[in-house]
Chain A
Amino acid sequence: MKRLSFARLNEFFAAIAASNALYLPVDNSKGKAEYKKWQEGTEMSRQLNTLRSAKDFFFPQTENLMEFKMDGKSVEVIDTRREAEDFVIFGVRACDAASFKILDSVYLVDPVDSYYKTRREHGVVVTLACARPAETCFCKVFGIDAADPAGDVTAWETDEGLMLRANTEKGEKLLSLTAALLEEGDERAVEAAQEKTREIIEKLPLSSLSTEGLGAGKTAELFDRPEWKALSEACLGCGTCTFVCPTCQCYDVRDFDTGNGIKRFRCWDSCMYSDFTLMAHGNSRNSQVERFRQRFMHKLVYYPDRSGGTFGCVGCGRCLSRCPISMNIVKVMKTLGGKNK
């Protein structure tokens, strides 16, 4: 366990930024936290979490995949990838750190997504334990401990300063860059901070949310439940929940005709959109109730089916805060789950 005095936080960031691009949550003009590149004078946001999730670093909303140049009947395929930069994300919360595991389980299995993999390899994740969780938080429901987040390095804000623990080789390497600023830290300061956080988590209104009746193997029981209709009735079919979600991982691949070639790119897609499953034959999900069901069945049943029971939600609460009509996964779980009635 290492200790950094809060007074030296800026030097700590500078030491990291000397050899890595360092990103951390910063308040934007609307007072909402978003990840920004650190430079001298950048002030870290004091908010609980960023409006958009940290998945953007590994799975950006839009990215170019390749280009094609046509010359008569010949087509040249151009790899547009450049050497990826080494980067560090500081201040990732436990929920978002857990979302990386879910994204890994999709993108790092055969066939491996090399674009994603490269960024994962070049990125170092420094998590920050939560001290003041919100009413919309429910990570505990999915077995995530906001007081002990994963990541290459875990940090805690304690009475004695910022405590840092390296969890991986990458993390050790990162802390070695800042070794001159660090002292040996006392585990007990961390334990005290953790205890406080866990006490708050017990009091959170959604901590008692049950997953009973949901999860792997429940497709047959849940798919035709009549409640889907009322749950999806007010859904606008927008992509807000999908795009702020740290675990939503679907994308669309499109070609952009530049006039003398093609740029092939991918961009986030939303199962809430009318053309999400549009194929040559038409669309297999023609109503909003089907699209809505897909999103929640994916998080609560289909993903657990394929992941040995792990849910596809990390309880970050972004969809609770951002949905224009305040419909969300918690309301779905309460309506369809066994013990929440």
Chain B
Amino acid sequence: MQELMKKRAIELLADGTCDRVLGWEKGDFAYDQTPALFHTAEELRASFVYNGFSAANLSKYLVKECRAGGKIAVFLKPCDTYSFNQLLAEHRIKREMIYVIGVACDGKADVEKLKDAGIDGITDIREEGECYVVSTIYGDKTVKKAEALAERCLNCKSRKHMAYDELIGESGEVVPNSGRFDMVEQLEAMTPDERYEFWRGELSRCIRCNACRNVCPACTCEQCIFDNPKSGVAQKAAVNSFEENMFHIIRAFHVAGRCTDCGECSRVCPEHIPLHLLNRKFIKDVNSFYGEYQAGEDPAARPPLGRYEKNDIEPGEAGGNRA
């Protein structure tokens, strides 16, 4: 797969389809890949990588790249194509400047899962069938791929590419019962006090690094209100107060109806706060109030929160279990 992608990228550079390729660059230990632009065949040959640890969603980088001009080829996994479409719908990127190569994905691994299983001193990871063979300074270990699967991939919503100019590998299908709302349902079943405790416990670990916001393809404001000293709410202090926790709730509100559930927020959180659950609650509510809607499925669709219908649900009808 990686070699096919590399070969194709070199061809696209050579035939002028693009002048740069957005992909993943290999790091020091097989799992620490960095999103990178490749301008030449030499660069691609030297450090392009695609494997079970190529997790980053590259679509948001296109906002910056479209401003830089030229023509960009980008590798997108199925879930990344939803973000891509959403960015198109919001006029943040220009379709004609981008050549999308859809790449098959059977779920990405999370190295934290290997580390949590006690595997340390990792120097290399090889894929062998259904397993990862992990070389460490303390000896080799073999782990089933399924055991290393990232949290968000456990509830993969779709293996189908929503946009592409060409495909490498197969595009799959939308997953009918992904189970991605199971945890939301568990939270809904809690009493308000229990739910409050759950979120206070999770959000109290927030260090306000803003990684969740900065990685989010739905967060593309020129300047975030929380960074604008003139807004009156700019805030860098991380204090364990309810007000501080509101940052995440406000952010979830802001991306409601636009979040495609790509899961990058939870992937990048250094404190492993399950931020995607806030977004999934909104997705679930939008589905039940306005009918099934998946952001990023169709860039031409009018979003439920961006249109008005006479029979729209009234605030009082939305329910919610009050104590």
Contact = CB atoms under 8 A, between A and B. Distances in A.
B236 A267 contact: yes
A51 B35 contact: no
B121 A325 contact: no
Contacts of A265: 237
Contact of B137 (A62, A135, A270): A135
A2 B69 CA distance: 67
A268 B227 contact: no
Which interface residue of A133, A234, A265, A326 has the most chain B CB atoms within 10 A?
A: A326
A28 interface: yes
A252 B270 CA distance: 22
Given A135-B120, A233-B37, A237-B214, A331 B208 contact: no
B215 A238 contact: yes
Nearest to A204: B137
Nearest to B137: A203
Interface string B30-68: 011111110000000000000000001000010000000
Interface stretch (A153-161, A214-222, A272-280, A304-312): A272-280
Which interface residue of B37, B214, B229 has the most chain A CB atoms within 10 A?
A: B214
Interface stretch (A96-104, A115-123, A142-150, A239-247): A239-247
Interface of A is mostly: loop
A324 B123 contact: no
Contact of A275 (B211, B229, B270): B229
B237 to A, nearest CB: 4
A65 to B, nearest CB: 12
B206 to A, nearest CB: 10
A269 interface: yes
A233 B36 contact: yes
Contact of A331 (B27, B31, B207): B27
Nearest to A265: B237
A62 B238 contact: yes
A242 B270 CA distance: 12
B34 A236 contact: no
How many B residues are at the interface, by size bracket? 35 or more
Interface string B164-200: 0000000000000000000000000000000000000
A205 B28 contact: yes
Given A205-B123, A254-B237, A327 B34 contact: yes
Contacts of A205: 28-29, 123, 137
B37 A230 contact: yes
Contacts of A133: 121
Contacts of B239: 62
B203 to A, nearest CB: 12
Contact of A320 (B32, B213, B237): B32
A336 B50 CA distance: 25
B270 A135 contact: no
Interface residues of A, number: 52
Contacts of A203: 137
A322 interface: yes
Contacts of A252: 236
B264 to A, nearest CB: 8
A99 to B, nearest CB: 17
A108 interface: no
B108 interface: no
A182 interface: no
Contact of B211 (A48, A238, A320, A331): A238
Interface stretch (A15-23, A29-37, A78-86): A29-37
Contacts of B270: 51, 240, 243-244, 322
Given A30-B272, A244-B270, 12 more contacts: A32-B272, A52-B207, A61-B207, A62-B237, A62-B238, A200-B137, A239-B210, A240-B211, A240-B268, A243-B207, A325-B35, A327-B34
Interface of A: 28-32, 34, 48, 51-52, 61-62, 132-136, 200, 203-206, 230, 233-234, 236-240, 242-244, 252, 254, 265, 267-270, 273-275, 278, 320, 322, 324-328, 330-331
5 contacts: A239-B210, A244-B207, A252-B236, A326-B31, A326-B33
